[in-house]
Structure 1
Amino acid sequence: MKLTFLGCGDAFGSGGRFNTCFHVEGATGQFLVDCGASSLIALRRSGVDPNAIGAIFLSHLHGDHFGGLPFFLLDAQFMSRRRAPLTIAGPEGLPARLRELQEALFPRSSETRPKFELNLVELPAGERREVAGVAVTPVAMDHFSGTPSNALRLESEGRILAYSGDTAWTEALIAAARGADLFICEASFRGRKVSGHMDVDDLLAHLAEIGAKRTVLTHMGDEMLAQSAPEGTVKAHDDLEIAF
């Protein structure tokens, strides 16, 4: 399988990076992990066909992680003329929050009936479910977003992709990422504690216990962007491709 960081930035445009959006492609299909506000632009720049995306998995419902959905759905309806089904899976409360976002950005757009099958799937934390051919287990994290914020453990084609979403350090992250072929973890800060976000020193103290084959840091603020990757990790950048 191949993962491409279409966007790996934070909410503040640090380093001029696009908001979070990971593209995963395997033998059986393609899906996105998160769809931040700039994601449709990142898709176009990278040459990824939005109609080829079968599912979008959301860690939490902040604008830099799901704010691109109204644009993605409008494009599917009127420009890309999508006909294939699309599944959007995210935390409990997703349907209402998505509707509110659509109406805030494009009034009455949530009332437009799509010309394709659109499935909204709520993912209760702690329940492993099969969604669009991917086994997904959401794990509750420490990050306020108005609805649950989850790490995602995604299993497809014999590979395990773990993603922290946004979170301060929590022991629950160990189980969410343990033994993953690829673990992507937010890395907003290092050496200081900020509510709801990772101090990378806390992550580094548990890397051996997590035991992921590869750990990639994402969602970095300016102070992390200015540093070299800590031992045992790789720093993401937009357009980075990783086979796993």
Structure 2
Amino acid sequence: MKVTILGSGDAFGSGGRFNTCLHVEAGGEQMLLDCGGSSLVALNKTGIERNRLSTLLFTHFHGDHFGGLPAFLLEAQFVSRRTQPLTIAGPRGVEQRALQAIENDFPGASGNAWRFPITYVEVTPETPATLAGVAVEAFPMEHDQRAGPCQGYRLQHGGKVFAFSGDSAWTDALIPLSAGADVLLIECYTWDQVLANHLDYGTLREHRADLGTKRIVLTHMGPLMLAHQEELPEARAHDGMVLSL
């Protein structure tokens, strides 16, 4: 399994980074894990062939994780002229959220006669799924239920496990999410400012021993976190970073 971090930034593009977007390859299949508002730019920059992506999987419905969907679909319809089926997956309510987002961004477009079949799949803690050949388990996160349910995911393929928190403050659900993972990509928005809906490095450090993973990579870093450049036990994500599992 290969994960390319196309976007490692927060909602505001801090540090000149793209919104959250991960490109996952496994067994010859490809998907995006989150597709924030700037993701089409990131995809164009890297030259990824979008028609080879079979699935878009979302952690929650904030614009910096979900906002790239309308443009992705219209580009597929009118530019790439996609014909291959596309799966759009995510938390409960993903189909309604997707149609609402398309209509908000491009009025009338939600009624398009799409040239490619679209299938919506709800992935919940009670209903895992296999997407793009990858086994996906969902875990409830603590972020903003107005944009949720907000979820983290464990992706498993070929005996390797990639865990991604999405956005979340500390929650004990991060412990089973990360248990035995080869890589945990975890949001770390601030350095020591404790917030109700995002994780800070001080809290992460306190709970580091609870996270049973071989490797931790920090992402979704805001200005306060980016200002700290000292060496840390954890790696810092950047746009274009490749995680090979």
Q: Tell me, what secondary structure is at the counterpart of 1:237?
A: coil
- In 2, distance between residues paired with 1:177 and 1:56? 22
Matched, 1:122 2:107: no
Q: CA separation in 2, counterparts of 1:230 and 1:174?
A: 24
Alignment TM-score, normalising by the size of structure 2: 0.95
Q: What is the rounded CA distance, in whole Å, between the counterparts of 1:74 and 1:104 in structure 2?
A: 13
User: What does the per-residue CA deviation read over 1:80-106, in whole Å, with 9 as the maximum and x for residues that have no partner?
Assistant: 011111111101011111111111110
Q: Which residue of the partner structure matches residue 94 of structure 1?
A: 94
Q: Which residue of 2 aligns with 1:56?
A: 56
Q: Which aligned runs of 4 or more in structure 1 are off by greater than 6 angstroms? A: none
Matched, 1:81 2:78: no
Q: Distance in 2 between matches of 1:108 and 1:156?
A: 39
Check the 8 A contact 1:126/1:139 in 2, yes or no. Answer: no
**Aligned counterpart, 1:25:** 25
2:35 aligns to what SS in structure 1?
coil
Alignment-derived partner of residue 240 in structure 2:
239
Confirm or deny that 1:69 pairs with 2:74.
no
2-structure distance, mates of 1:235, 1:127: 32
Residue type of the alignment partner of 1:125: P
Give the secondary-structure state (helix, strand or coil) at the position aligned to 2:238.
coil
Q: Percent identity?
A: 46
CA contact (8 A) 1:151 1:163 kept: yes
Does the aligned pair in 1 maintain the 2:29–2:132 contact within 8 Å? no
Deviation at 1:125, TM superposition (A): 2.6
- Structure 2 residue aligned with 1:186: 187
State the match for 2:36 in structure 1: 36
Whole-Å Cα distance in 1 between the matches of residues 90 and 26 of structure 2?
Answer: 21
Deviation at 1:142, TM superposition (A): 0.6
- 2:218 is matched with 217
8 Å contact 2:189–2:200 — kept in the other structure? Answer: yes
State the superposition RMSD in angstroms: 1.4
Which TM-score applies when normalising by structure 1?
Answer: 0.95
Distance 1:140 1:211, change over 3 A: same
Which moved further from structure 2: 129-138 or 37-46?
A: 129-138
> Structure 2: any 5+ residue segments left out of the alignment?
none
Query: What is the deviation of 1:211?
Result: 1.9
Q: Does residue 1:157 correspond to 2:128, yes or no?
A: no
- Match of residue 12 from structure 2: 12
1:120 CA drift (Å): 0.9
